[in-house]
Structure 1
Amino acid sequence: MRGLMVARNSPASRVPSHGTELFATAQALDLVPVDDRGRTAPVGLRALLVPQRPEEFPGFGREVLSPAPGIVHAVHDGEADHPAHRGLPSLRYALTQSRRAAAGWASLAGNHVLIRLGPPQDRVFLALCHLRRGSIEVVPGETVETGRLLARCGNSGNSTEPHLHLQLMDHADPVTATPVAFDLPGGLPRDGGLLGEP
């Protein structure tokens, strides 16, 4: 993504990063877009009591670019971008997480793109999740280069606010895959670390 982002649920500070080994998420990263003041959205009493429209967040609709070259393996679109949940609404939302997990990975990932990275023998897959409904610009079998527009940031699937969930795994099926750690120049972002340029 372009612009400022904050790293959340990063394996730089804990493994498993998302509190579970399920669906190969142990090494996943969440990148939450923020405004030039480092806020994901204005916080007020109303935001702490009721869900917010995803359009209120600076990341909603932000371009999601391919971070690496590869071949699009799979695409899933059509899931609604639901309201964001902070404060008390996030507690109510958390109580429904087991239902989403029981429905499977697609229910958690929401709209997503799965890219096979590197030469065919490498078999490393990158999942980019929680994309905006109707925004995916690529199709299975398409070759993508670094920087190619894939979709736009949304709030689909198991997401409390618009953000991009990324995970690497050794198989296309997250149910049987093993997570693969990110190897980023300069190391992994710390939780709460600010990335990008305004």
Structure 2
Amino acid sequence: MIEARESIIVEFPLRGEWLSPNTPGTKIPSHGTDRFGTRYAYDFIQVDWERTGWPAYRVSLPKYLLFGVSLSDYYCWGQDVYAPCDGVVVQAKDGYEELARTNLLTDMSKAYKNARYFDPKKDDVQSVAGNYIIMECGDSVYAALVHLQTGSIQVSVGQGVKKGEVIGKVGHSGNSFAPHLHFQLMDNSDISIANGLPCAFEQYEVFQDGEWQIVVNGIPTDKDRIRFGY
């Protein structure tokens, strides 16, 4: 586990059991780039721990590859998202439509296009972030909760929010391979120019050696079975 000594500590923004396939606990930059403030960003999904490969969806792998998967067949789609800190909402963008199904080829093509050709001077950041919330958590510290479900955002710009309040739902909007929550801290409220800030979670549990163990001020790896809110 990468040491969290210099990280900004916030509350875990989800409840239940989760896996982080992209995390600074495994590699930095966690998403392979520093663009869009993603250097220390996390992705969170829910999976079936009993099935081979820990799939995030209820259907078979061949069906996923051949036909795609309805959003409602993903375990995490529609799960509540919680404020990671006390703060003020500085951006709340909703209304970006999600595709009804995931499609591996379509989603890969979209991701490639955004990675190579996105121009912050003329392109809408929602094409990357989809529906998203940005909270100011402190002096030059902003939390971004990204790819939210269409119509799920429950806060508005200027609203004060307390840590642990429900603010939206996990979705598949924007540049997203599958429903998940993308979470990051950054030094600017503008995702297109922000730098990422290191972040750790004040408490969660990890399943190790057949039991749940409490982690304080930790950074999960991409193999950790984690949970919060029990």
Structure-2-length-normalised TM-score: 0.77
For residues 36 and 8 of structure 1, the distance between their equivalents in structure 2, rounded to whole angstroms, comes to: 14
Contact residue 83 and residue 155 of structure 1 kept, 8 A: no
Q: For structure 1, which runs of at least 5 residues remain unmatched after alignment?
A: none
Q: CA RMSD in A?
A: 1.9
Runs of 4+ in 1 over 4 A off after TM superposition: 35-39
In the alignment, is residue 168 of structure 1 matched against residue 168 of structure 2?
no
Deviations 1:84-112 (A, max 9, x none): 54xxx424521232333414532111100
Contact 2:132 2:144 in 1 (8 A): yes
Contact 1:84 1:160 in 2 (8 A): no
* Corresponding position: 1:79 with 2:96: yes
User: Identical aligned pairs, as a percentage?
Assistant: 33
1:94 to 83, 95, 108: 108
Q: Is the 8 A contact 1:84 1:155 kept in 2?
A: no
The match for 1:66 among 76, 83, 90 is: 83
Q: Which amino acid aligns with 1:125?
A: Y
Give the unaligned 5+ runs of structure 2.
1-13, 202-215
Give the strand-richer structure, 1 or 2. Answer: 2
Larger Rg: 2
Deviations 1:138-176 (A, max 9, x none): 001111111101011111111111110001110111222
Cα displacement (A) at 1:46: 1.1
Give the SS at the match of 1:183: strand
What does residue 126 of structure 1 align with?
143
Do residues 9 (structure 1) and 22 (structure 2) align?
yes
Corresponding letter in the other structure for 1:130 = H
Alignment of 1:1-198 (within 5 A): 1-35=14-48, 37=50, 39-44=55-60, 45-85=62-102, 89-101=103-115, 102=118, 103-118=123-138, 122-184=139-201, 185-196=216-227
The aligned length equals 192
TM-score, normalised with respect to structure 1: 0.89
Q: Distance in 2 between matches of 1:115 and 1:35?
A: 31
